[in-house]
Structure 1
Amino acid sequence: MTDDRIGPPLLGGERETVRAFLDYHRATLEMKCAGLSDDELRQRSMPPSTLTLMGLLRHLAEVERTWFRRVINAEDIPLIWSDSGDFQAAYDPAGSTGAEAFTVWREEVEHSRRIEREAESLDVTGYQARWEEKVSLRLVMLHMIHEYARHNGHADFLREGVDGTVGA
């Protein structure tokens, strides 16, 4: 497994450091899913869980879209894989391909990066309808780091189950 991730700066400012940590975790997920066939990306963890690497890619594309585009950028757009607003639908890889999951995830990551770069500061706010509260871009960035870190732990176990690859 090739590790092309760039670590966060040791002496960077707040925004630069938060951005770098998030990108590091995004790169970790991509690395964990790289080089696998559609069937391998759909391989489930141990029963009764139905969690898959493809499901994680799809879920994190949905999370990127929701927090950056829908919350911070106030875009009136639907979820990617659910017309009914069901976030759990993204976990189901049936009928999906790795190429599609990677493409959609990468597109959403690029939207997120653009929104963050164009924001005046981490103090920019958006409205989180589920919480009925305003939230800062800072909170969104930190939440995303948390979300990726948690799911990258799942990805470690899933990848090891697929082909024995461990680490990072």
Structure 2
Amino acid sequence: MTWTAPRIERRDIPAAAGERAMLQGWLDFHRATLLAKCAGLTGEELARAGSPPSTLTLLGLVRHLAYVERWWFRQRFAGEGVDGLYFTKEDPDADFNALDPARAEADYAALIAEIAACDAVAADRDLDATFTATDGRTLNLRWVYVHMIEEYARHNGHADLLREALDGETGA
């Protein structure tokens, strides 16, 4: 049986909420939007480039965002000693490259698991809690939330175009 990315439900974004709820709401919305763009597609379809000569794929975006979630929330902010996802010295863009449609379900599950782990790391931490970035800047958890919202928003624009090129589906 061929795996197909499941349909998902997006929650409404809070219209009037405190800062933390608003940041989490927008991040959750954008996370769900990426998953909605994948819904109903097989691993083969997720790994297919939608706009050659670009090699960008929905599966590459899923892998990339799992990597970025782990990097900012767990490795940088929380200082966890977890390995990076996909990234190697030989191929720093391995999240976009070396795609295996047969591993699409596992890659999709890795993003879901990473989201849960990142939410757990940030849940009880103050938005003003700081850490030092690799370039020496002092950043705070608020910065991570805003950066992740813009990261997903940018890539969801790519996902819109990829999905439409694959099967004509628009919206979500």
Give TM-score scaled by structure 2 length. Answer: 0.90
- More displaced, 18-27 or 90-99? 90-99
SS of corresponding position for 2:114: helix
Aligned residues: 166
2:152 paired residue number: 148
C-alpha distance after superposition, 1:68-98 (max 9, x if no partner): 0011100122211123285411012523522
Match of 1:60 among 40, 44, 65: 65
**Residue aligning to 1:4:** 9
| Structure 2 residue ranges without an equivalent (≥5) | 1-5
* Distance in 1, Cα, partners of 2:152 & 2:46: 17
Q: Which runs of 5+ in 1 are unaligned?
A: none
Distance in 1 between residues matched to 2:14 and 2:67, nearest whole Å: 28
1:15-67 Cα shifts (integer Å, max 9, x gaps): 00000000000000011011211110011022221000000000000000000
Find out whether 1:157 has 2:161 as its counterpart. Answer: yes
What CA distance in whole angstroms lies between the structure 1 residues aligned with 2:112 and 2:98?
17
Return the letter of the residue paired with 1:110.
A
Residue 34 (structure 1) aligns with? 39
- Aligned identity (percent) is 41
Structure 2 contact 7–39 (Cα < 8 Å) conserved: no
Within the candidate set 119, 128, 134, 1:123 is matched to 128
Task: Give the stretch that moved more between structures: 72-81 or 11-20.
Answer: 72-81
1:71 corresponds, among 69, 72, 76, to 76
Whole-Å Cα distance in 1 between the matches of residues 20 and 90 of structure 2?
A: 31
| Separation of aligned partners in 2, 1:86 and 1:135 | 27
